[in-house]
Amino acid sequence: MHSLFDPASPQARAVASLWWWMAGVGGVIWLGVAALAVYAAVRGRGTRAADDLMHIPAESHRRIEHVVTAGVVITVLILAGFLTYDFSVGRLLAQHPQRALTIDVTGHQWWWEVLYEDPDPSKRIGTANEIHVPVGEPVQFKLRAADVIHSYWAPNLNGKRDLIPGYVSTLWFKADTAGVYRGQCAEFCGLQHAGMAFYIIAEPKVKFAAWLAAGSTPPDPPTDPALRYGMRVFMSSGCAVCHSIGGTDARATVGPDLTHLKSRSSIAAGMLSNTRANLTRWIENPAAIKPGVRMPAVPFSPADREALVSYLETLK
């Protein structure tokens, strides 16, 4: 699921085959060197090194010179070969396509903000920690950091790219196998660095288009009185200060967008599966699950919390 050896895009495949070649050739050389070292140790047993080195016959000298020269030449050739190979892979990864689906990804302590760009502002979709992409189409990420340096790393689809505050770095890939691929922050970014995961969901074009269309339609406000009460709890407490829900007054951008919270499979940046019980547990005390997390424990009465969770469960 989160592996360099299971590539799902031409880009990741190029990186994986470079890795296999380097590991293979490097392994063979290492074995050869180890074997020679053992051979030399066995062969030279009992002789005194100092005497030998003082009296090396002239033809042995020449032979040693040949061996050293050959060693240097072979080393340089192999390294130059890998350098060329590495450059060609780097070139492949750096050649961004002219037209690609562009997704803004911003790293926060400790979650991923995702925004699908569109010239029509009503079709710009904000989500978090889960990135849907179409299979067979180039996708370009614009990577930013909101606070400290983070690093995007989803090895099944492409390599690693740092997210640097005040700078936009880019990365692209074309997924060719549908699936769910895990990604992870790969640059230490504070207490919950390890708890900052994301998922890339590569799906067929039709399914992706349907997801995108559903994403730009905010959920209907609830009509049931209990759910309306839950919505009021959300809007009148601390929730709406940080989170946004499309179609409501909550428009803050400090925390993840919750417009389609229940369309996501996990909460808390991949830490918990998105079930009602987990959501309740998370709201009750986020720091018990992710110590250091910026989301505070809001002191709700149990009834208010229940109503709030019931409302959040409707955000499909």
| Footprint on this chain of other proteins (rule: CB under 8 A) | 147, 236-238, 241-242, 254, 294, 296-299
Tell how strand 139-145 and strand 101-108 pair up.
parallel
3-state secondary structure of 105: strand
The residues with which 143 forms a beta bridge, in sequence order, are 105, 169
Q: Which is nearer to other proteins, 179 or 255 (CB)?
A: 255
Q: Which is nearer to other proteins, 76 or 254 (CB)?
A: 254
Q: Which is nearer to other proteins, 110 or 141 (CB)?
A: 110
Tokens representing 294 are 């910026």
CB 198 within 8 A of CB 183: yes
Q: Which helix (DSSP H) or strand (DSSP E) does residue 172 occupy?
A: strand 169-173
Cβ partners under 8 Å of residue 67, min gap 6 = none
Q: Which is nearer to other proteins, 201 or 250 (CB)?
A: 250
CB of 162 vs other proteins, minimal distance in Å: 18
CB of 112 vs other proteins, minimal distance in Å: 17
CB of 232 vs other proteins, minimal distance in Å: 12
- What is the rounded distance in angstroms from the CA atom of residue 252 to the CA atom of residue 242? 5
CB of 134 vs other proteins, minimal distance in Å: 34
CB 185 within 8 A of CB 150: yes
CB of 254 vs other proteins, minimal distance in Å: 5
Alpha-carbon Rg for the chain in angstroms = 28
Q: Which is nearer to other proteins, 31 or 287 (CB)?
A: 287
